[in-house]
Structure 1
Amino acid sequence: MSLGEAHASFMGKTKDSFKLLDVYYESGGNFIDTANNYQNEESETWLGEWMEMRGNRDQIVLATKYSMSHKQHEVQKTPHAIGANYGGNHTKSLRISLRDSLKKLRVDYIDLLYVHWWDYTTSVEEMMHALDVVVKSGQVLHLGISGAPAWVVQKANDYAKFHSLTSFVVYQGLWNVMVRDMEREIIPMCIEEGMAIAPWGAMGQGRFKTKAEIEERKKTGELVRPYTAEGQSSLEETTSAALEKIGHEVGASLTAVALAYCLMRCSYVFPVVGGRKVEQLLDNIKALEISLSEEQVKYLESQSPFDPGFPFNIMGTDPRRFGETQFVMQKMYLNLAWVKHSPAIG
């Protein structure tokens, strides 16, 4: 999302996008995430130019998305234009969006195409058949989904399997040490389905900052949160302090610790990180070197308690992954030890 200038007024400016991409690639990075509408289409366009200039397309795992109205900035100025044709989960939206993404990115295939969000108007059947067509055509290699309830993803994958269609292999959603709603239904579904998880907002979307950083921003007039011009909430302040404490223990920044938390909390996690500065990117990469202890993870989670809701707050969560060693109800009649799921590598 940081590639482009169309949204610089509220997202901030990136001084040198190609330099940022170069440093990422030279550091071993090869997975790049974008979308059809980011920065009014500039993100895909700039990324396409960079890959063509560097001649590294084959080395990149390229992900983009459809469902958002990528032509909204033009439709608003065009008489008689039908905005619904450019957004949503339906077949025409997919056809137009993929055609335009391939052109902007200057490629003949996409490694990973996401459904950006579930629109509640297109049937699972239509969507999965349309997606399967673009995979079998060779224009797309793999499918992912973002911003959809777990039941939609499960229904879609079951339908795909029963009808020999291509199923979703990656879920992208908001997940970090402070916002853990995905642990309620989505992450357990991903584990059972063998799906990878690509969390966005893993570092708090700029919300995780030390008191010193907050004071420095106040002095320079730089907003804490450019999107809304708000300051830190009390929960964000508490979470930031906890991350800073663990950061001192492991010798890393609080944002690197936040990223490391997601990386080791579950297997097959590939965080989507943004940033406008090379130094931010290099700090993110340091998260790969951090190994948090079980005690440190428990401490972080204790500072921003998560209520899984019914029935999990009565029956417990999966004891093989996130929960206790026994279900609450089982303790009444059974003493059972569970075999834990394989932990993340690291």
Structure 2
Amino acid sequence: MKYNLLGNSGLKVSELGFGAGTFGGKGQIFSAWGKASQHEANHMIKLCLDAGINFFDTADVYSDGESERMLGKALAQERHHNIISTKVSIRTSENANDVGFSRNYLIRAVEQSLERLNTDYIDVLQLHHFDSFTSLEQLMKTLDDLVRSGKVRYIGVSNFSGWQLMKAQSIASQHGYEKFVANQVYYSLIGRDYEWELMPLNHDQNIGAVVWSPLGWGRLTGKFDRQNPVPIESRLHDTEQFAPPIQQEILYNLLDVLKDISNEIQATVPQVALSWLLQRPTVSTVLIGARNETQLRDNLGAKDILLSNAQIERLNQVSAVYPPYPYYPYWNGQFTERYNALVSSSFTP
């Protein structure tokens, strides 16, 4: 297993991390992700540890907190040798204040996560989404207090826009508060929007990308293509309403190339898709999730694959989507050259 720095934190994380969203199986969304029992969770965590994974991600809303409880139990004997990341800020109950960034809620949410995880500290606390109702000054001061208290070691965000993240970083810099070192983002061969603004921001601010849904909400598993559309009974239909829209023809063309490359190197389609991400700029760790041991073992195999420059370029070309204004290179060749260099593999985090 290869280990990368998580931004400028000095913390080394495995290039493949494990997402525990499949633990618990409560609710429409999370039961569609998976319904792993504690016994199955323990087994999958052991497989991850044996493979060298040291980064484990969850959230307080996953299966009403059950994911955190199960992950805490599964890692109990290996707690201090591994990194636990959890996320807060999505509404957890009907209580008016059980959501967002308020000092009242953030402190309470962290304490509840600590209890469920059965640990004294959270290695990486990430904000699950942006809250426009709480001042960023209050947010950054609260996060700084949580780090100084020892309850949290490092902080990060997820699903923020570029201006939201950059404004928060600027406030932290101005007041000497703890700054974000992780940015958990949706990024895949069928969803490359991350490259337009957030990748350059992460590079500039030395923030490590933690990639979620690297197989594009299950679209890049290789199970479905032109000849084999998603069946009516598939779990994908339960979560598709939350997935970013895609152009089907681009997906099918991409799957054709993925299958060609997988045959060339004797790998599976998911392994090729994951390997492409492992070789992308600013990516610190790619979260893999699994409903069972077979899926997990297959995903873990991505760490042993190295795509050639020619194979990467084929994937780059077939998955490219013209970016929207103001990101598209519309006025001169110099900008085009800089943009192409930025989204290539020519720089490292």
Please give the range of the TM-score, normalised by the shorter of the 2 chains.
0.7 to 0.9
Does residue 66 (structure 1) correspond to residue 72 (structure 2)? The answer is no
Q: How far apart, in 1, do the equivalents of 2:224 and 2:157 lie? A: 38
Q: Conserved in 2, the CA contact under 8 Å of 1:217 and 1:223?
A: no
Amino acid corresponding to residue 190 of structure 2 in structure 1: M
Match of 2:215 in 1: 203
After TM superposition, the score normalised by the length of structure 2 is 0.83
8 Å Cα contact 2:141-2:177 kept in structure 1: yes
1-structure distance, mates of 2:177, 2:347: 29
Match of 1:57 in 2: 79
2:340 pairs with 1:322 = no
Query: Match of 1:243, SS?
Result: helix
Q: Specify the alignment match of 1:28 in structure 2.
A: 52
Question: Is the Cα contact below 8 Å between 1:4 and 1:39 reproduced in 2?
Answer: yes
Please report how far the alpha carbon of residue 117 of structure 1 lies from its aligned counterpart in structure 2 after TM superposition: 0.6
- State the alpha-carbon separation in 2 of the partners of residues 165 and 209 from structure 1: 42
Cα distance in 2, alignment partners of residues 200 and 253 from structure 1: 19
Aligned to 1:3: 23
Measured at CA, do residues 227 and 267 of structure 1 come closer, stay the same or move farther in structure 2, by a change above 3 Å? closer
Q: Please report how far the alpha carbon of residue 4 of structure 1 lies from its aligned counterpart in structure 2 after TM superposition.
A: 0.6
Q: Tell me if the contact between 1:209 and 1:240 (Cα under 8 Å) persists in the aligned partners.
A: no
1:38 aligns with 2:50: no
Report the Cα offset of residue 20 of structure 1.
1.1
Q: Tell me the TM-score normalized by structure 1.
A: 0.84
- Residue equivalent to 1:87: 99
Superposition pairs for residues 1-346 of structure 1, below 5 Å?
1-7=21-27, 9-14=31-36, 16-52=40-76, 55-70=77-92, 72=93, 75=94, 83-210=95-222, 215=228, 218=231, 222-228=234-240, 233-313=248-328, 314=330, 315-316=335-336, 317-318=338-339, 320-322=341-343, 340-342=346-348
Distance 1:136 1:126 in 2: 15
Alpha carbons of structure 1 residues 279 and 196: separation in structure 2 relative to 1, 3 Å: same
Secondary structure in structure 1 of the residue aligned to 2:124: strand
Q: Shift of the alpha carbon at 1:235? A: 3.2
What letter matches 2:343 in structure 1? Answer: F
Aligned-partner Cα distance in 2 for 1:43–1:132: 26
What secondary structure is seen at the aligned counterpart in 2 of 1:145? strand
Q: Which residue of 2 aligns with 1:333?
A: none
Q: CA deviation at 1:162?
A: 1.8
Conserved? CA contact 1:176–1:202, under 8 Å: yes
Amino acid at match of 1:22: K
The runs of at least 4 aligned residues of structure 1 exceeding 4 Å deviation read: 211-219, 221-226
Bigger relative CO (Cα 8 Å, ≥ 6 apart) = 2
Mark the runs of 5 or more structure 1 residues left unpaired by the alignment: 76-82, 325-339
Count of paired positions: 315
Q: Is the 8 A contact 2:55 2:83 kept in 1?
A: yes
What is the root-mean-square deviation of aligned Cα atoms in Å? Answer: 2.6
Q: Distance in 1 between matches of 2:230 and 2:158?
A: 33
- Whole-angstrom CA distance in 2 between matches of 1:301 and 1:319: 11
Are residues 26 and 323 of structure 1, via their aligned partners in 2, closer, same or farther at CA, if it must alter by over 3 Å? closer
TM-superposed CA distance for 1:157, in Å, is 1.0
- 1:295 deviation in Å? 2.0
> Taking structure 1 as reference, are residues 218 and 37 closer, same or farther at Cα in structure 2, changes over 3 Å only?
closer
Larger radius of gyration: 1
